[in-house]
Structure 1
Amino acid sequence: MEELKNNVIPLYFLGMNGLLFVLMGFDKLCAVMRKWRVPEKTLLGIGLFGGGFGGLLGLVIFNHKKRKHYFMWTFLLNIAIWGILYYSLWLRK
């Protein structure tokens, strides 16, 4: 369990956030160029499964999906869940 806490979970968290951040930027670029877009279900799904910080960064930096408030709420919910998980796994003994 200790190896899982110290290695796998943080890598998963960083990977999901990085992936969602890149996808938000890519989707914004595709929107500007009027090309194929990343489905909203994909962005929201990654946001729910660990990409909250990356999604919020993508929202702010790329100025993308700001009108759709459910994106922000999904990403904030994910950050809250990860905060609770972080507290329960690492800080609480």
Structure 2
Amino acid sequence: MGKIIFIYLIIVNYIAFSLYHLDKQRAIKGKQRISEKNLLTIAAFGGTLGAYLGMQKYRHKTKKLSFKLWFYGILILQIVFFFAVYKKRFFI
């Protein structure tokens, strides 16, 4: 089970990173963009690390406060979830 989760996280983070790159390229070229909702959704499904790395590498969505608040809210929820699962496994 752990191996499947690990592979899932690798894939979803790669997709998240790629979407931030693609959206940045589309922004530069004036093409149709990927919605913020979709960018945040991929982060919420486990792609937070890839999304964060994409934001930093491509300097994308780093200045928009409303987006960053949602992003860091998702990150905090994921950290809380991770520790809740870890704590439950540790004490069982």
Short-chain TM bin: 0.7 to 0.9
Q: Indicate yes or no: 2:75 matched with 1:76.
A: yes
Q: How does 1:39-58 map to 2 (within 5 A)?
A: 39-58=35-54
Which structure 1 segments of 5+ residues have no match?
Answer: none
Which structure 2 segments of 5+ residues have no match?
Answer: none
Cα drift, residue 73 of structure 1: 0.9
Change (3 A) 1:88 1:18: farther
Change (3 A) 1:38 1:46: same
In the alignment of these two chains, the number of paired residues is 88
Change (3 A) 1:74 1:20: farther
SS at match of 2:53: helix
Give the distance between the partners of 1:10 and 1:77, measured in 2 at CA.
Answer: 20
TM-score, normalised with respect to structure 2: 0.79
Q: CA RMSD in A?
A: 2.3
